[in-house]
Structure 1
Amino acid sequence: MIFEKAVKLKNGKECILRNAEPTDAREFLEYFELCHAETDFLTTYPDETEHNLGKISARLADNKQSEGNVEILAYVDGRLVGSAGIHMIQDRDKLRHRAEFGISIIKAYWGLGIGNYLTESCIECAKEAGYLQLELDAVSDNESALNLYRKYGFTEFGRNPRGFRTREGIWQELVLMRLEF
């Protein structure tokens, strides 16, 4: 799936949203590690990822060629500052209507509207791909993210009180949300 768009942020700067390319693998890995080190709201810690340049490059190439998966990168002043994607839950007849949505943004760029643009873009891509439902899990303490998802029509359909367990042994409740088309 091909995607590219220029948008204006709340601070007046331009943000370029575009498909991730296999050549973005090194920059994406650095970005991924930074984002995952900055917040406890994401699924993994930066040191436990199985990412390497070869795997990331191959995944980004597959996503770009896919009709159902997409990874969109957000650039400000030439720097990768955000990423969002949709991925089919599973390629089975009973599940092909569902896709998982994920998003992350470097903390210094929170509050500028990048999350809005990435979310809108992924919803647009999901509809174009023919999905009937987008799904996500969000940490219940992450009010900014929950508000963003609700703004775009995602509704809660359950909670997992022991969804994440931090390295410190603290449970993080996950809010299960979906958006139906």
Structure 2
Amino acid sequence: MLSEPNKMIFVAETENKLVGFLAVIGGDVKRNRHSANVVLGVLEDYQGQGIATKLFNKAFEWAKEVGILRLGLTVMKGNDKAFNLYRKMGFVLEGERVQSLRVNGEFVNEYYLYKLYIMLIGAGPNASTFWASPFFAVLHASYPSICFDDNFRIFLFIRFFRRDERANDRTDKAERNRDDARVGGDDFVIADKRGGAKA
């Protein structure tokens, strides 16, 4: 498994004893290689010592380096300790799967959580000013699961530019169609979406 670039296992040891691990298992096909599932385990006697937090932080750093944009995990409903930890680490509740597990003969529901990353290239000279703007404060509050960096503005500008470009293309096309219709006069015929025609 570790020979694949989007899969990794992080371990925590003390006195040559394995006390915790965090596995990141990325997708196997092209369309989901950007996404990975997380599995965490820490021995009960070593919980509450920050081991899980350190494992998560190492995993987050690695995920950004290899281009993983989405991390997901599950937790049994009622495991408030783990659920609160995941929320503290930036995971957002995505949904609940009903009766997905059976423990000691009893059905148990699972919570599904996720964390998103935006990967960016290049840095802008005014990144710190833009990052400190009220706009970004609102944006980050609206999308708490997204991890931003100073270069997010580049992604944002590119996205808005492409959207405006598409809007301008649609406007130009509509104007050309209107011009063509005017040239055609009263006899101009426009085919509708069903393949019929109307004058």
TM-score w.r.t. length of structure 2 = 0.56
Query: Deviation per CA, 1:105-137, whole angstroms, max 9, x where unpaired?
Result: 111101111011111111111111101100001
| Residues 162 and 178 of structure 1, relative CA distance in 2, 3 Å threshold | same
Partner of 1:74: 12
Partner of 1:31: none
Matched AA of 1:109: Y
Aligned residues: 117
Residue 91 of structure 1 and its aligned partner are, at CA, apart by 2.1
Partner of 1:175: 111
Residue 68 of structure 1 and its aligned partner are, at CA, apart by 1.2
Residue 161 of structure 1 and its aligned partner are, at CA, apart by 2.0
What does residue range 88-107 of structure 1 map to in structure 2 within 5 Å?
88=26, 90-107=27-44
Task: Name stretches of at least 5 consecutive residues in structure 2 with no aligned partner.
Answer: 118-199
Question: Please, which moves more after superposition, 103-112 or 65-74?
Answer: 65-74
Is the Cα contact below 8 Å between 2:94 and 2:114 reproduced in 1?
yes
Residue 94 of structure 1 and its aligned partner are, at CA, apart by 1.6
Is the Cα contact below 8 Å between 2:6 and 2:33 reproduced in 1?
no
Residue 162 of structure 1 and its aligned partner are, at CA, apart by 0.6
SS in 2 for 1:131: coil
- The structure whose RCO (Cα within 8 Å, separation 6+) is larger is 1
Task: Name stretches of at least 5 consecutive residues in structure 1 with no aligned partner.
Answer: 1-61
Partner of 1:116: 53
Q: How far, CA to CA, are the matches of 1:72 and 1:86 in structure 2?
A: 8
Matched AA of 1:110: Q
TM-score w.r.t. length of structure 1 = 0.62
Identity rate, percent: 28
Q: How far, CA to CA, are the matches of 2:67 and 2:97 in structure 1?
A: 28
Query: Deviation per CA, 1:12-58, whole angstroms, max 9, x where unpaired?
Result: xxxxxxxxxxxxxxxxxxxxxxxxxxxxxxxxxxxxxxxxxxxxxxx
Superposed CA RMSD:
1.1
